[in-house]
Amino acid sequence: MPQINLLTDGVRLVAEPTDRFKTACISVSMALPMDEHMAANALLLYLLKRSCRAYPDMTQLQGKLDALYGASIGADISKIGEAQVLRLQLTCLADKFALTKESIAAESAQLLADLIFRPNVKNASFGAAALQAEKRLLIQRVEEELNDKRTYAYEQLIANMCQNELYGKPKYGTVEEIEAVKMSDVYAAWRNLLRTAIFQITVVGAADAAQIAEAFTAGFKRIERAPVTPPTQFVQRARRFNHYSKSFPVNQGKLVIGFRAGMADSLDHIASMTVMNDLFGGGTYSKLFANVREKMSLAYYCWSRLIASKGLLIVECGIDTEMERKASAEILSQLSDLRNNKTDPALLDASKRSLRERLTPASPYGILEWYSAQVLQSEICTQEDRIAAIEEVTMEDVCAAAKRISIDSIYMLSAEKTEEAKA
Amino acid sequence: MRTKKYTDAKLSETVYVGKHSSGLEVRVLPKAGYDSVYALFGVRYGSIDTAVKNADGVFETIPEGTAHFLEHKLFESEELNAFERFEKTGASANAYTSFEKTAYLFKGSSEIEASLEILLDFVQNPYFTQETVDKEQGIIGQEIRMYQDEPDWQVMFNLLRALYKSHPVRIDIAGTQASIAEIDADLLYRLYETFYNPANMALTVVGGVEPETVFALVDRCLVKKKGAPCERKFVPEKPAPVQSYIEQAMSVAEKQFLLGYKLDLKTPELTLAEETATDIALEALVGRSSPLFRRLLDEELIDMGFGAELFCGHGYACVMFGGTSRDPEAAVKQIRVELRKVRKQGLDPDAFERAKRKLYGKSVMCYNEIGATANLLLDLWLCGDPPFAEIAACKQVTLEQAQAQLALLQDKASALSVIVPVQKETADV
């Protein structure tokens, strides 16, 4: 069990100190509601990562990190349910591997706290040039989602399927929203973040959790906290089926099928849903791998994933465009088999063993991901807890879980016919 | 099995290297406090092996993509396939093929010996038929198509085709739809017999396992008792590229570019010292704390993904600079100017020191993940280097060595590969 500390209202520290690894890893997750400020929040995150009062220039800050044996600070934004989660993540070398006597971890941790609490702000401004630069980079990031067709098709399915829910909104805001952000919006977003976001600081490895707790407690000292927990709407059953498609000049089509998972909250039947999803389209023993890929040779990849934080289950595969009907019919027929207990019982054990294996941490990054994803959970669940719950799942539970899911939408990214084919 | 112990005290890690009488090399790094184990069984046989030496000592051409095709087929068996066998131990199994090697792997946290036995067994016992080979054509065909739609992949292979006239590094790892159509079961069996022999292979194991356990298991499970390393054909390439510019239109949002400098090789491979000096020099030159990176960013010619790397192997070595840019030609011009400047004035010594520290830190961090460590041990074996050689090399690089590597980058031996957005192009017409 990790050490859990509540530093102030809505600010939790989760620490797993260990000297098994060569590093100290710290992530700060900050959850905000998905409202009209998403673009300003996103820009804020990249501005915080860019510099701070002690290192007001990005090249200077980067130079400092390099000198700290290649310490790195990453920034990412994700949706956890209907919350926009901003995250800063630091990885640095453990002190004992330094070639000279230095305290890399303590210095890096202080730097991370400085980025959040002591940014490079003068007269309520992060600097016009910095904002301009980050706007360009963020817009490019949004536009470049088109480059990876697998992710793009997935995002299009979510945007269409959840168009009447907050979850359908893009995580960075739209290009138009980003363009419209003013300096005063970013500054207000920073004040709002410190006051209202739900924070979780996750620490894994050779770092002093007490020192990190101190740095963050000091940062929050003069802030009047009024934390807001963003709610998530769970649509348990699909209503009318929708089919969306668009063609692109590509070689391979991408079929994405969206299901409602029938979950009332992110932990509802979580163990049986996890096993069911794994048997449906997880491991190499799964129905989709064994049939869509191995038996029918339709695809190189065909898998499903469970988005428990929103109660969705999504199937993805890359196929020849004209095989769409054949592939989707097979995927649904496999789901039907799963519902009707037409699954070799030995596969249930295989799935449990494999899930246990995947939940056994072998790197600091895996542990960090597991805990930081729980920023909005009131109780921290360990990987051992989840493994134990999975052990209890029966084939009846799996069938019941499969019966709860309902198909909502399909998005087909199809390959345009080439010039020769048209002629 | 003859064994030898290598220790890096600062890193506090020890690798036990065993040399089996058959020629197989086994490298084990035991990790205290770890339940998980990551094992890799690798073969010196990759996509660049498009020629094989026959009994008369003559190199005979084989279709492109055989190493990768064989990788797919080895999972098959007359009874339970390899995946089904790993289901019993819970280990996650996989495999990959690169330019220079094929590797089979598993990660597991219980029944380690059973998983190791399965790994050794399925790689040593090929079983497939013409029917299952035919079936695989469809799956691999989809894999090829998937990569054809990935701009990062295409920009790199286009560059390699512009730089290299005949070296097989210019062909896609999986081959082409046409080349895989030439592959049949007989050919795969024949190539299996040639490449998959213990003297051409290595096993690396990292995590919660004792070296003695692994060595004993290898002694017990190794089928072929003899073998010989396969010779690779080395045909030196002329320094000049095939073409200095190559372009492809794809469905992307913005232009992407990769500028490549071909290095002139007198021997088939660079030394580890040369590789490390190049890595540090590139970090100092274009890393995120460099003046060049900042200038390109301020002029809106790159994004945060811009970077440079050395790409090398048997018979090929080049340095690649690349990223996304609204104006690749303008970005390239500045890179060339900076290279000329450094050739004249040398690298900034502070930047060199920072880059060296950063590379050292990253090298140590590689021992954080058992998978990364096992892959590192296999790569070191492939180059004939002992464990921890990369860390020693990093500590020894001097400013002069780093500068000397940058001086090898000649504009006349370079080429530029660009991906342009397909929509934009049609809109301009």
- Tell me if B365 and A22 make a contact (CB, 8 A cut-off): yes
Percent of chain B scoring above 70 in pLDDT: 98
Residue B366 to chain A, least CA–CA distance (Å): 9
- When CB atoms are compared, the residue of B90, B138, B151 closest to A147 is B151
- B87 included as an active-site residue: no
Residue B32 to chain A, least CA–CA distance (Å): 8
Given this chain, do its domains A3-220 and A242-422 carry the same CATH topology? yes
Contacts across the A-B interface (CB distance below 8 Å): 176
Q: Is the dihedral of CA B374, B375, B380, B383 positive or negative?
A: positive
- The structure tokens listed for B59 are 């190199």
Q: Residue A316: what pLDDT? A: 98
- Model confidence at B245: pLDDT above 90: yes
- Model confidence at B429: pLDDT above 50: no
**Which of B142, B252, B300, B360 would best serve as a mutation to test chain A binding (most A beta carbons within 10 A)?**
B142
Q: Residue A418: what pLDDT? A: 58
- The structure tokens listed for A167 are 């979850």
- Model confidence at B253: pLDDT above 80: yes
Residue A199 to chain B, least CA–CA distance (Å): 27
Distance CA B42, CA B402 (A): 32
Residue B396 to chain A, least CA–CA distance (Å): 13
Residues B191 and B318 in one domain: no
Chain B CA closest to residue A70: B358
> Does residue B228 sit within a domain?
no
- Tell me if B358 and A250 make a contact (CB, 8 A cut-off): no
Mean pLDDT within B288-316: 97
Mean pLDDT within B84-103: 96
> Does residue B366 sit within a domain?
yes
Distance, CA of A344 to chain centre: 33
**Which of A147, A150, A246 would best serve as a mutation to test chain B binding (most B beta carbons within 10 A)?**
A147
Residue of B137, B131, B130, B118 whose CA lies nearest to B179? B137
- Tell me if A360 and B35 make a contact (CB, 8 A cut-off): yes
Query: Domain A242-422 has what CATH class?
Result: alpha beta
Contacts of B84 in chain A (CB under 8 A): 285
Q: Is the dihedral of CA B111, B114, B117, B121 positive or negative?
A: negative
* Neighbour-count burial of A397, counting CB atoms closer than 10 A to its CB (0-12 exposed, 13-18 middle, 19+ buried): middle
CA distances from A359 to A79, A194, A369 (A): 22, 33, 11
Chain B CA closest to residue A63: B289
Residues B129 and B255 in one domain: no
Chain A CA closest to residue B249: A249
CA distances from A131 to A113, A118, A181, A183 (A): 21, 17, 9, 7
> Does residue B305 sit within a domain?
yes
Contacts of A146 in chain B (CB under 8 A): 251-253
> Does residue B237 sit within a domain?
no
Instruction: Out of B13, B25, B71, B100, pick the active-site residue.
Output: B71
- The structure tokens listed for A148 are 């990876």
pLDDT category at B228 given cuts 50, 70, 90 is confident
Percent of chain B scoring above 90 in pLDDT: 91
Distance CA A367, CA A6 (A): 20
CA distances from A296 to A404, B73, B151, B271 (A): 27, 16, 28, 46
Contacts of A49 in chain B (CB under 8 A): none
Contacts of B69 in chain A (CB under 8 A): none
**Going by DSSP bridges, is the β-strand pair A72-80/A83-93 parallel, antiparallel, or unpaired?**
antiparallel
> Does residue B235 sit within a domain?
no
DSSP-assigned letter for residue A96: G
- Tell me if B368 and A363 make a contact (CB, 8 A cut-off): yes
Q: What residues make up the domain containing B373?
A: 245-428
- When CB atoms are compared, the residue of A99, A285, A358 closest to B360 is A99
Contacts of A365 in chain B (CB under 8 A): 368-369
Residue A24 to chain B, least CA–CA distance (Å): 10
Domain count, chain B: 2
Distance CA B99, CA B101 (A): 6
For chain A of 423 residues, list the mean pLDDT of each consecutive stretch of 10.
96 95 96 98 98 96 95 97 98 93 90 97 97 97 96 98 98 98 98 98 95 96 96 97 97 97 98 98 94 92 97 97 97 98 95 94 93 97 97 98 98 80 40
Give the global pTM. Answer: 0.94
Pick the CATH number of A3-220 from 3.40.50.2020, 1.20.1440.230, 3.60.10.10, 3.30.830.10: 3.30.830.10
Contacts of B368 in chain A (CB under 8 A): 21-23, 363-365
Residues B50 and B177 in one domain: yes
Residues B126 and B178 in one domain: yes
> Does residue B239 sit within a domain?
no
**Which of B11, B357, B360, B388 would best serve as a mutation to test chain A binding (most A beta carbons within 10 A)?**
B357
What's B285's domain CATH number?
3.30.830.10
- Tell me if B251 and A149 make a contact (CB, 8 A cut-off): yes
Q: Residue B226: what pLDDT? A: 82
* 3-class DSSP state of B257: strand
**Going by DSSP bridges, is the β-strand pair B59-61/B256-262 parallel, antiparallel, or unpaired?**
unpaired
Q: Is the dihedral of CA A377, A379, A380, A386 positive or negative?
A: negative
**In the β-sheet with B25-30, what is the strand arrangement from edge to edge?**
B2-8, B13-19, B25-30, B201-207, B37-43, B102-108, B92-97
User: Where exactly are the structural domains of chain A?
Assistant: 3-220, 242-422
- Tell me if B289 and A59 make a contact (CB, 8 A cut-off): yes
Mean pLDDT within B155-176: 96
- Model confidence at B23: pLDDT above 50: yes
**Among B221, B237, B260, where does a domain finish?**
B221
> Does residue B227 sit within a domain?
no
Residues B69 and B199 in one domain: yes
**Which of A22, A72, A359 would best serve as a mutation to test chain B binding (most B beta carbons within 10 A)?**
A22
> Does residue B57 sit within a domain?
yes
Q: What are phi and psi of B419, to 5 degrees?
A: -105, 125
Residue A138 to chain B, least CA–CA distance (Å): 10
